[in-house]
Amino acid sequence: MNHFRSLLVLLLLVSFTPCLQASDPSQVADPYSHTNSKGKTYYLFSKDVQRKNSNKVQTIYYFAKDPKNSKGKPLAKVPKDRMVSETKTGMLVLKKKIEVEEEEPKKKLKKEPEKKEGEI
């Protein structure tokens, strides 16, 4: 009886999954688009992946030619800590922004007293 109940729950989840995905607001938004130097337009997507040999989940970002890519979720804008960059071959990638740190004030070096001629 318990096996039948779990099978029924699984069947219900599978049958309602398309309805839940269609109502997801992140799937409705148009993804961020960027045109490379060769004139091709790509669309930005993200995907959470589980790292091998670890329990950590990492978000990866990628560009796809198809705006309706089903493998990831579309992003409406570039994340704040990232910037779009292009490789030599025209492939688009997201890179972390380089934060410019303020330079620390230079420490004053102690001047050695000048030696007069004839002193040792």
Q: What is the pLDDT of residues 52-81, one digit of tens each?
A: 999 899 999 999 999 998 889 999 999 999
Task: Please give the Cα distance from 33 to 94 (Å, whole number).
Answer: 13
Specify if 43 maps to a domain.
Answer: yes
Q: State yes or no: pLDDT of 6 exceeds 90.
A: no
Specify if 41 maps to a domain.
Answer: yes
Q: What is the pTM of this model?
A: 0.58
Specify if 93 maps to a domain.
Answer: yes
Give the total number of structural domains in the chain.
1
Query: What integer pLDDT is reported at residue 76 of this predicted model?
Result: 94
Give the phi and the psi of residue 5 in degrees, each rounded to 5: -65, -45
Query: What integer pLDDT is reported at residue 70 of this predicted model?
Result: 87
Which residues lie closer than 8 Å to 79 by C-beta, 6 or more apart?
61, 94
CA angle 53, 59, 11 (to 5 degrees): 80
Specify if 120 maps to a domain.
Answer: no
Query: What integer pLDDT is reported at residue 103 of this predicted model?
Result: 61
Specify if 24 maps to a domain.
Answer: no
At 10, the pLDDT band (50, 70, 90 cuts) reads very low
Give CA separation, 18 vs 21, 59, 72, 76, in Å: 5, 23, 15, 22
DSSP tag of 17: H
Host domain of residue 71: 31-98
**What does the pLDDT look like over 14-53, one tens digit per residue?**
444 444 444 444 454 689 999 999 999 999 999 999 999 9
